[in-house]
Amino acid sequence: MKIGVIGLGSMGYGIATSLLRSGHNVYGADINPEAVERLRAEGGSDVDVMSAAPELNAAVIVVLNAAQTETVLFGEHGLVPQLAPGAVVIMCVTVAPDYARSTAERCAARGVYFLDAPISGGSVKAAEGKLSVMASGKPEAFAAARPVLDAMAETVFELGDGAGAGSAMKAVNQMLAGIHIAAMAEAITFAMTQGIDPGTFLEVIPACAGTSWMLENRAPHVVAGDYTPRSAIDIWPKDLGIVLDVARTSRFAAPLTAAALQQFICAAGMGLGREDDAAVAKVYAHNANLTLPGTSQNE
């Protein structure tokens, strides 16, 4: 297949290389030209995505948010009007369900299939082709997207024949993920106030009932003092903001989500937005006058 991947950050780049390994022709696009050149060096096409658009079988959208997605698909140089009928747009971006439904309708008006397909698993699983995909869309969209999904995902949850269901499930996942990261940060720093060093915390808690996948994945970053961004702080004000917008529309109170969101906003305000999201622990450490491993007291 001829597949365009728009957005070559940590997740999009992993998807692109997984597609290459599966033998597909991959056309990359990103605002960072170095990412595009890196993909081309690994076997990606030298042709830019817009030039190849009429021949693409699929376009995988892995940009930051709905605004960027809108520009990519329907902006002044939008991709959808350039795609041939029968091509499929696979949107992997975390957006509100209503936006996914609107996008599906506009793609259909052009004869283009649309799959609402947010992803989970992080950059490592993206690079391994082992993501989880929460997908919804018409059977024809699933059929058109199947070779792409087979290359990028270990598990594909088929959540219905209407766009929006995939994005709704991603909102549920992000609610839990954001809360769990903040809870990890709160717990590991609380442990420090009780004389428990982070290394001991990490040895004990994963073997106990209080653990979570996020704790086991992010706490090692705190213990190592390594905040190289696998998933950045700046992602969470956006994603938890979407969760709360959806909750508000449904008249559903989500106080734990709101509390977690405030911690990520505080971390961003401290200048930590580009750091790994485990750096939310620095908010707690700062407030409690604690020094985390690998940091100074003022950090």
Burial of residue 26 (CB within 10 Å: 0-12, 13-18, 19+) is buried
Decide if 88 contacts 144 (C-beta within 8 A): yes
Q: Which of 117, 162, 118, 159 is CA-nearest to residue 137?
A: 162
Annotation says 170 is catalytic: yes
Q: Which of 152, 149, 118, 120 is CA-nearest to residue 135?
A: 118
Q: Which amino acid is at 138?
A: K
Q: How far apart are CA 259 and CA 131, in angstroms?
A: 28
Q: How far apart are CA 284 and CA 95, in angstroms?
A: 29
- Residues 6 or more apart whose Cβ sits within 8 Å of residue 16: 5, 8, 26, 28, 39, 44
Q: How far apart are CA 56 and CA 35, in angstroms?
A: 20
CA distances from 82 to 67, 93, 113, 216 (A): 19, 21, 13, 44
Beta bridge partners of 197: none
Catalytic residue of the set 125, 130, 138, 170: 170
Percent helix / strand / coil, the chain, rounded to 5: 55, 15, 30
- Strand 119-120 vs strand 131-135: parallel, antiparallel, or unpaired? antiparallel
Q: Which of 237, 246, 234, 240 is CA-nearest to residue 279?
A: 234
What token pair was written down for 132?
């989880």
The number of residues making up the chain comes to 299
Tokens 């990890």 belong to residue: 184
* Catalytic sites, residue numbers: 170
